[in-house]
């Protein structure tokens, strides 16, 4: 009989029992003169000593502004040093930082301000087409708990910081003494595909340990410099980026306020970064820059690719042309702080592209039958579940939705279809709701996408199911061509698949696109592709 699809992570390193503030103190004491934070656009730099002092200064200001333990402090901003200072200062005073997606508009931000009960909001002034001040003014009279909004880059930021004085040090120490590592410290709204987003509530223990063990698995030390082009409002930026760095004395490098492929590679070259983060579409955009070969990326050794599966051809180029021999694939979700599975430094190319790694230390994963919840034999597709220190405290003020996601055994149900191999590595074969059912056959889009990436005319591809009268659903391939002047035809696509894919998996429809609809965190919105082309 095959072994069951269950694995737990063992390791010689104990979990951290610190709060985020106490952990930062340790880093400041150990590496005071090493760089902690660099903002490439503005040229500003902080050593650990200076960064620790700036965090304390903002923490004093929060105390002087009447921020109590457990108060919700919102941040609605693009990547900038102030975002990072707010992250650590709110943790110091025991406030709950609420991350707000910079792409939100008035309807969504009003919902979050009220649902979380935000009393103090930090916001960018503007970015691209977003005028945050105008949007806040539009909704604030409908948000009774919002007392104050402070705009980053405005005199109001400096005025707030001046409220705090060093004579509040005793009060800050007293506040920190009453904090527990299990206190809620962060609310992250997960993009709900139906209805309003849910606020995943995370503790110091959840996110500090997750950042720490992600950093451990790629051997971070005080020698590392981490380029973070992924958004801070998302776990990828603030946990896998910031907390992984500060818990190891590494440097956080901000290349730009939002993703810009050229700015990212310039930052790697200028700051001699050793690690680079991104979702696969970001790496594709960097590799496709006309002047890609002119950047000196020789300092890179590692990095993290996450958010969606990495195509084999992209991974080969990242390793060979970006020097990221130790690049790691991570799998997770906001509700699990976020990472539960990760590839290791010495994994081969097949494991880095065919799987999302194996379970991290101190966590458990299993693959279950989505209907009855029974753990399946290895090699069988089912729903991936995870349990351990990383599972959220719950959705903020939504016990019913929490109970739908986290069962009585404290297992988080991910909604992802997965297969656990005999060696414990896990393949993600799709979302339960992305699976295409054509004439009774289950089709996993990931398998078809991987196959189509090898076509010479295809730069990027997404496969979705669309309604069909006879079969229930049919397979649609949405393709971004390598050369827009010479796009792929449906006949060419089908000829490429004939004899190499089962007939029912071969796309019967094709759309040529310039771009895919994306979330701010860089994931393709498949639901939008399905809805757009469902005619």
- What average pLDDT does range 395-420 have in this prediction? 96
pLDDT confidence bin for 48, thresholds 50/70/90:
very high
Alpha-helix residue ranges (DSSP H) falling in 251-407: 261-271, 280-287, 312-321, 349-354, 399-405
pLDDT for res 21: 98
Residue in the structure block whose two tokens are 């790694």: 357
Q: What's the number of domains the chain is made of?
A: 2
Q: Is position 439 within any domain?
A: yes
Residue 184: domain span? 22-362
- Pair 350, 443 in one domain: no
- What average pLDDT does range 179-194 have in this prediction? 85
Domain boundary among 345, 362, 379: 362
CATH number assigned to the domain comprising residue 57: 3.40.50.12780
Spatial distance between the Cα atoms of 521 and 189, rounded to a whole number of angstroms = 12
Tokens of 143: 């948000």
- Pair 271, 156 in one domain: yes
pLDDT in tens, 337-378: 999 999 999 999 999 998 999 999 999 999 999 889 999 999
pLDDT in tens, 201-251: 999 999 999 999 999 999 999 999 999 999 999 999 999 999 999 999 999
Domain boundary among 362, 388, 419: 362
- If you ran DSSP here, which 8-state letter would residue 337 be given? S
Q: CB atoms < 10 A from the CB of 180, how many? A: 11
pLDDT for res 521: 67
Spatial distance between the Cα atoms of 131 and 151, rounded to a whole number of angstroms = 11
pLDDT for res 193: 41
Q: Is position 409 within any domain?
A: no
Residue 192 pLDDT greater than 70, yes or no:
no
pLDDT for res 470: 80
Q: Is position 93 within any domain?
A: yes
- Pair 346, 442 in one domain: no
Tokens of 196: 């309003």
- Pair 345, 466 in one domain: no
Q: Is position 391 within any domain?
A: no
Tell which wins on pLDDT, 498 or 422. Answer: 422
Q: Is position 406 within any domain?
A: no
Q: Is position 236 within any domain?
A: yes
Q: What is the 3-state secondary structure (H, E, C) of 143-207?
A: CCCCCEEEEECCHHHHHHHHHCCHHHHHHHHHHHHCCCCCCEEEEEEECCCCCCCEEEEEEHHHH
- Pair 182, 97 in one domain: yes
Residue in the structure block whose two tokens are 């399946």: 376
% of the chain with per-residue pLDDT over 70: 99
pLDDT for res 195: 60
pLDDT in tens, 290-319: 999 999 999 999 999 998 778 888 999 999
pLDDT in tens, 69-111: 999 999 999 999 999 999 999 999 999 999 998 988 898 899 9
pLDDT for res 194: 44
Q: Is position 395 within any domain?
A: no
% of the chain with per-residue pLDDT over 90: 84
pLDDT in tens, 79-89: 999 999 999 99
Q: Is position 383 within any domain?
A: no
Mean pLDDT over each residue of the chain, to the nearest integer = 94
- Pair 348, 449 in one domain: no
Nearest residue to 226 (alpha-carbon basis) of 87, 41, 356, 38:
38
- Pair 339, 478 in one domain: no
Instruction: Return the bridge partners of 97, or none.
Output: 73, 186
Q: What is this structure's pTM?
A: 0.87
- Pair 175, 65 in one domain: yes
Residue 440 pLDDT greater than 90, yes or no:
no
CATH number assigned to the domain comprising residue 446: 3.30.300.30
Domain boundary among 347, 362, 377: 362
- Pair 150, 282 in one domain: yes
- Pair 171, 313 in one domain: yes
pLDDT in tens, 237-258: 999 999 999 999 999 999 999 9
pLDDT for res 227: 99
Q: What angle do CA 170, 171, 177 make, to 5 degrees?
A: 90
Cα–Cα separations (whole angstroms), residue 505 to 204, 428, 467? 45, 18, 15
pLDDT for res 1: 66
- Pair 438, 316 in one domain: no
- What average pLDDT does range 146-154 have in this prediction? 97
């Amino acid at each position: 009989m095959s072994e069951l699809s269950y694995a737990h992570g063992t390791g010689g390193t104990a979990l951290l029992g610190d709060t985020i503030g106490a952990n930062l103190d340790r880093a400041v004491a150990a590496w005071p003169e090493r760089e902690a934070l660099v903002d490439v656009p503005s040229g500003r730099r902080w050593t650990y000593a200076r960064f620790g002092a700036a965090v304390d200064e903002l923490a004093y200001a929060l105390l002087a502004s009447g921020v109590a333990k457990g108060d919700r402090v919102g941040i609605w901003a693009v990547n900038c040093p102030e975002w990072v200072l707010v992250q650590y200062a709110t943790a110091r005073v025991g406030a709950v930082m609420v991350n707000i997606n910079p792409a939100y508009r008035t309807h969504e931000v009003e919902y979050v301000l009220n649902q979380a009960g935000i009393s103090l909001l930090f916001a960018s002034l503007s970015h691209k087409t977003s005028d945050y001040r105008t949007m806040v003014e539009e909704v604030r009279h409908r948000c009774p708990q919002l007392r104050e909004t402070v705009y980053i880059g405005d005199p109001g930021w400096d005025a707030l910081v001046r409220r705090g004085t060093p004579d509040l040090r005793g009060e800050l120490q007293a506040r920190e003494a009453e904090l527990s590592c299990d206190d809620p410290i962060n609310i992250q709204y997960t993009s709900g595909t139906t209805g309003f987003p849910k606020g995943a509530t995370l503790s110091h223990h959840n996110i500090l340990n997750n950042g720490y063990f992600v950093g451990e698995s790629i051997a971070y030390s005080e020698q590392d410099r981490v380029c973070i082009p992924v958004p801070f409002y998302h776990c990828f930026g603030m946990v896998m980026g910031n907390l992984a760095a500060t818990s190891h004395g590494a440097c956080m490098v901000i290349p730009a306020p939002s993703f810009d492929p050229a700015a990212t590679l310039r930052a790697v070259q200028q700051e001699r970064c050793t690690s680079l983060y991104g979702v696969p579409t970001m790496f594709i955009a960097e590799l496709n820059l006309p002047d890609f070969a002119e950047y000196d990326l020789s300092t890179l050794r590692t990095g993290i690719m996450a958010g969606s599966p990495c195509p084999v051809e992209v991974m080969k180029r990242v390793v060979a042309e970006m020097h990221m021999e130790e690049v790691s694939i991570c799998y997770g979700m906001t509700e699990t702080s976020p990472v539960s599975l990760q590839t290791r430094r010495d994994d081969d190319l097949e494991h880095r592209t065919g799987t999302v790694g194996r379970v991290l230390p101190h966590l458990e994963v299993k693959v279950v039958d989505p209907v009855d919840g029974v753990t399946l034999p290895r090699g069988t597709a089912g729903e991936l579940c995870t349990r351990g220190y990383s599972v959220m405290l719950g959705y903020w003020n939504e016990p019913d939705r929490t109970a739908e996601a986290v069962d009585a055994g404290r297992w988080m149900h991910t909604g992802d279809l997965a297969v656990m191999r005999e060696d414990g590595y896990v393949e993600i074969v799709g979302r339960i709701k992305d699976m295409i059912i054509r004439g009774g056959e289950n089709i996993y889009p990931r398998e078809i996408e991987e196959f189509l990436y090898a076509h010479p005319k295809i730069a990027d591809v997404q496969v979705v199911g669309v309604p069909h009268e006879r079969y229930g659903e049919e397979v649609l391939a949405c393709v971004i061509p390598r050369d827009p002047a010479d796009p792929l035809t449906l006949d060419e696509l089908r000829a490429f698949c004939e004899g190499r894919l089962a007939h029912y998996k071969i796309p019967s429809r094709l759309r040529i696109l310039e771009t895919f609809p994306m979330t701010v965190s860089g994931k393709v919105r498949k639901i939008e592709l399905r809805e757009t082309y469902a005619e």
